Each structure stands twice: as structure tokens, then as C-alpha cells.
Structure 1
Amino acid sequence: MTQDTILANAKLVLPKEVITGHVVVREGLIAEIGTGAAVPAGALDCGGDYLAPGLIELHTDNLERHIAPRPKVAWPHGPAILAHDRELAGAGITTVFDAMRVGSIPESKGRYPKYARALASEMLALRAQGFLKISHMLHLRAEICSETLVEELSEFSTEDRVGILSLMDHTPGQRQFSDLAKMRAYVMGKRNLTNAEFDAHVANLQSIQTRFGAQHEAVAVAEAGRLGAVLASHDDTTADQVAVSAGHGVAMAEFPTTLAAAEACRAAGIAIIMGAPNLVRGGSHSGNVAAQELADRSLLDIVSSDYVPAALLLSAVQLGEIWGDMARGIATVTDAPARSVGLSDRGQIALRRRADLVRFAKHDGMAVARNVWSVGRQVA
């Protein structure tokens, strides 16, 4: 017999409301939910802190940051995965779809080498051996503007259980990089290119997109079907691009860059994902539409931490305050992402759901994660 874990005197963030109560965890599941501030013998007194479902991250570049911590520095994959796993657990994230780029430009000065298959294999092995604290799944970022997308996608199978495949097109002059001046500042700073090298880089990418773009987009859509992955678009900018996404069967739009694109997504029934850093910072670093503007217009469904894991909880609480509804804010990082990828066993504090939980407090404008549980086991 396993001993129950009781988390008491907490503000429970339920699907539609926040109540004071307690949760009983038994064999990794939520077994009981009660009301009131009483603290039974043997229970953990949460002291009036919030207790929410564990956060669900659909798109994060954080693992890439760990495998390449500095320009020209390649870090061993195993230690990088473990560091990434621990960082997310500490931020309250209990389920993550690790974003890995598929599609490379082997001879590019911009350095886009192949890495996804090897990294995925090491992550899946660590998961199978029980070394990871939280639940990790695969998100393949299919780079349309590349040379090797078809062969790299063919290396994945249904046994990999790819959860999401997103259509990425970083060709200069459109989508995220419609403003070439902003792209120049970003890429030259990140890749340490000269002006001449940047101009050659842009010309090369535009040539690659002309040669391979249509084929790669068609193959990526087909591969999502073969792998059983939810299809996502990325950086839709115009209503016409959203119409193409809808025709492909896209279920989620990651980071639409304009109000017009977000409105078209809503009309097409495509869930809208925005970046937590955009919300926390008060705007997009690329000059795209602000997440808060979409939130104010009820055009924001899901939040992703993107490149700052700690921003996920912070942004959800911020949305709760913007909307005057903490349950609605927390749902953007729990229930909504769970439903968007078909995970019916998590994302809510509800009976028989996985006991993926985060206890957090609000302090001086911050959301502070105190404790985190994954399938009932404390991981942070």
C-alpha cells in the first residue's frame, strides 16, 4: 500500500474557479478534492498558496539552448537533456513537447547542422530509463527553408510518438522576418556574421526556399499524418497564410505575427498560441503583434514559454490578472494545451487525473513556484 499525499489549505485552481481546499494524491492520481482550509494530520499545509495543475509546454527552444550554450560550442546531449529537464521541473512544467528542428543546411555559414534524430534518441532513452523528472514528448519543427527536410523526417517513425509537427518557414522577407533590418540585427548578433556574410546568407535561404519550399511543405503535412502528430503552423502573418494552414488541417497556430492572422485563426477554428516572453516583456522582440493585444481581444488560447521556461507560470498568472479570472489564465498553460494535443489524463485538478501539480505563491509581481509534483512524485 502506498501512502496518500495530502496537500491542504490551498487555493485550488479548478477548470472554472479557484476555491480553498485540499487534494488527496493516491498512486499518482488525484483521488479526492475537498473544500475548506482545514489541515488534516500528516498533510502538507500549503499556507494559502495556489495549487494548480502542472504546466504543459508545447513549444520550447530551451533544449537547443542547452545543447549549444554559446556560438560554436556543442554540449553533450545527455547532460544537456538532464539540465533542461531539471530547469523545467523547477519552473512548474510537468509535461513538455521538446521542440527539435528537422531540416538542415549542411554547408551554411549560418550553421544549421542536423541534430534532431540523435537528440531525440538520447532523450527517449533517458525517458525509458527513468532518469527524467517530468514527462517529455517530441515536437518536430519542420524547417521548410532547408535542404534535408525530407530525409530527416523519414528517420522518425510512429514508435517515436511524435506529438506535434510544426511547419516552420524562416525564409527572410516574410513571416517572423518580414522586417529584414530586424532580422539583420538578430542573426548577425547571434551568428556573428559580417554584413556581407548576412547578405549572402539571406540570398542562399531565399534560393533554397524557391527550390524546395513547395515540396517540403507538402511532405511535412503528409509526414504529420504518417506519424500521427498534431499539425501546427508557425508565424502566420496574413489571412491567406492562415487559409493555407487551415487547408492543411493545422490545429494550432504558433505565434501569429499580426492581428489579422490571429482573427483569421479564430474564424478558422485554429487554436492561437502566443509566447510568454512577449506577454511578460510587453511586446514582441521582432516587432510583431503584442500578446496582450490578443489577450485583450480574447484571441489568445495557449501560452508557450518559447525561450524562457520560468515565463510560463508568470505569464499565466499575468493573464489571470488581466482577465480578472485566475482559472482562465492558468488554463492557457494547463487545460487548453492538454486538449489541443489530445492529453485527456492531465491539465486539470479533477478526479482520476494525473497528479501533476504545482504549488505557487504571488510575491512582488512574480509567480513563485514552491513545490512541483509529477504523477504524485515531488520533483521540485
Structure 2
Amino acid sequence: MASLEERLEALLALHPKRIDLSLERIARLLERLGNPQERLPPVIHVAGTNGKGSVVTFLRAMLEASGKTAHVYTSPHLVRFNERIRLGAAGGGQLVDDVTLMDAIEAVREANAGEPITFFEITTAIAFKLFAERPADFALIEVGLGGRFDATNVIARPLASVVTSISLDHAEFLGTEIAEIAMEKAGILKAGAPAVIGRQDEHVMALLGLEAEAAHAVPFRHNQEWAAHGENARLVYQDEDGLLDLPLPRLLGQHQIDNAGTAVAALRAIGVDISAEAIGQGLREAQWPARLQRLSEGPLVASSPPGSEVWLDGGHNPSAGSVISAEMASLFDRAPKPLFLITGMLTTKDPHGFFSAFDSLTQYVFTVPVEGHAGFDPRELAVRANEVGLPARSAPDVRTALQAIGEMATEPPRILICGSLYLAGQVLKENGPLPV
């Protein structure tokens, strides 16, 4: 009998392209499955360049803190495919187990009958089938790429559509201009559903407002219909229904205050019955691996210099580089330590833009391969770091880079492993803890 990994690998062979944005293939398959997307629990649909996974995490944590259940679909996974599909249950949802997942794969594969379909499309159909067969109060669905032609956009009547921060990324699929990308993200906005818009550049916000109007969606925009900011170690949220004085989110960084505010705004926009206490509890308990995650133990941490801090973040575009570097600068202000980067990056990304955010902040960069993916050759990536003024050299793997930092550092350093979610997944697989 084929293993889960073998079954997932077989799905990759159904379409020659890794990404081919279209709704035709997923619509065909879902119809054969009896259109499970029409039987989902009420859907909160989340798109954006950065922060959409964090917003989904905050939404789940807050809903579960209030006693509600939520199915969750996110991507990509870090270590195991099961991370993409979380089945809602009383007391807290659980990642789909191997047996349930294999049964769903076989049913959907049989319905597809060998026809061309991308991996993300067929796995989206698997998630929708599982969600339609199990009761829950909500389904939290994260867009894979873009929005308008993303496989998840077969959802015709979401409870709310959410658009997090938009910046340049995936230019080969979504366009090279921010306005083009914003238009693609806005494709998830639907008539009659609140359009919850997170922090944006003013021009992007204006464009999204126009797109919401054209879609007959009800706009609920950051710094217009709602606002959130940090103040005196608290998160202050306000909209026309009043003000909430909340704890800061467990996830670190100013950007997570924005993401937490966006999640609160989504719940307020749909009028869900949830107390301020449950919202606060959710913010305190939300966990999202590889987002400014400090690694405190494990084999790789043991390879780092004594007294060092090891941080992990999967951010991989210039916008993510800016928010990560801002948090590293904040950490330095509170507890000065020399910063070293260990970075691997896919060839589709912008290393100059990412590295530029760390100029004058970083002592040295070690570049490493991203195993199993089309990543930059570490030597070439080191050259890209040099070109923006960061001293860098390549290393064969993260462990070797950690040991090299130990030989170079004259005092306990702060080490940030970053540049790719796939690299972050490698680190968690080797070091732990595994996402649950």
C-alpha cells in the first residue's frame, strides 16, 4: 500500500506546471465531488502578500478561545503536508491525521480520473471535501497565490473577505506593478460580504476601496472603518462599535499588531458573538511557526555559539525583510548583540530587496542551499548580499554556518535563519519543534 508521501508525490505528476492559475480545473473536479465548496461552514477567506497566515492563526485562536470550532486551510506546509489542513473540533482543532488524509486523497484522485490539475488545486479539493463532511462553526481559508484565479476562489458566498498587506511578490504570476497585484488579490471580494482590508499603501488602499465598491462588497478598511495600534504594551483596537483594550499578541513584531488588528476587525465585521476576554486569550495563545520564532533547544541550537540567540523566520520578500529587520533592530536596542544571518532563498525571489533591509544592522551573512527546491546557489546568493554591502560567504548547510559563526563571533551573537519558508521547514525538521 502506498504511503502518504507516495500518494502526495503522485498528485504532483497530474500537471506539468507547479503553478497555473485557473478556476476551470478545480471547478470541474469539485463538480464531480458534488460541489463540497457549497457545503462548507461559513467561510472567512484571506488573501494578501504578507500576514495572511498570521491573520488566519489569530482568527482560529480567538474563535477557539470563545468555544467555537474552525476548519483551517493554509499553505505551504513547513515539515508535513498535514499542517495545511486542520479539522475543527470541540476543545481545539487538530491537524488531519494520515489515515483520514489518505482516504480523502484516494477519493479525490479517483474523481479526477487522471486529468490535468495542479497540486494546489487537487489538495484544495481534498480540503474542501474534508471540511464539507465535518461540522464546524467556521472555515478559515487562506488563498494560495493571488486571489482572482486562485483555486480557493470558487467560494462564491464567503462570510467575509480579508486582504492583508500587499507588496511585490510572485511577479512572474501576478505582475510587476503593485496595482496589478492588488487587483488580483481583490478578486476574492464578493457582493454583500465585508471586505476587511489590512494596512496598505495609500494608493493600494484607494484601489481596493474601488474594487470593493465594484464588487458590491462592504468596505471595512484599516484607519478608516477600524484602527489598531500598540500603546503602553497593549493592543488598542477601535471601530464604530467601540474600543477594545487588549493584550499584545504572542507573535512578535509591529507587523503582528497589524495582523492581529485585521483579525479582530474581521470578527467584528461579521458580528460574531465573541467577548473581549476571548479575543485577548486568542491573541496571547496564537502560535505560528517560523514567524520570528525563537528556537531555545534542539540539535541545531546546540551547534550555535554558547549564549547565542537563534531566531527563525520564513519571510522571503523585501516587505518581509523590512518588518523582520525592524524587529531585529528593536531587539538590539533592548539587548545589544551582533546579528548574523543564515539565508537561503528561491530563485524567484528578490535577494537585493530582502538584504537591503538589513544594511548596517548585520555583521555577516552565511548563505545556504534550500534543499529540494529551486534555490539560489549559495555562492551566487552571497554575491547578491555583497552587492548591497553585506559581507557574506556560502556554507553547505545551516549546521556548518552555525559553527562558522561560533568561530567568527567575539561575543554571544543573535542569529537569524531566514529567506525561505522551505528553509524554515528544513530547520524545524532537523531541530524541532515540529508544527502541531
Same fold, judged at TM 0.5 (above): no
Larger proportion of helix: 2
Normalised TM-score (structure 1): 0.32
Normalised TM-score (structure 2): 0.29
Larger proportion of strand: 1
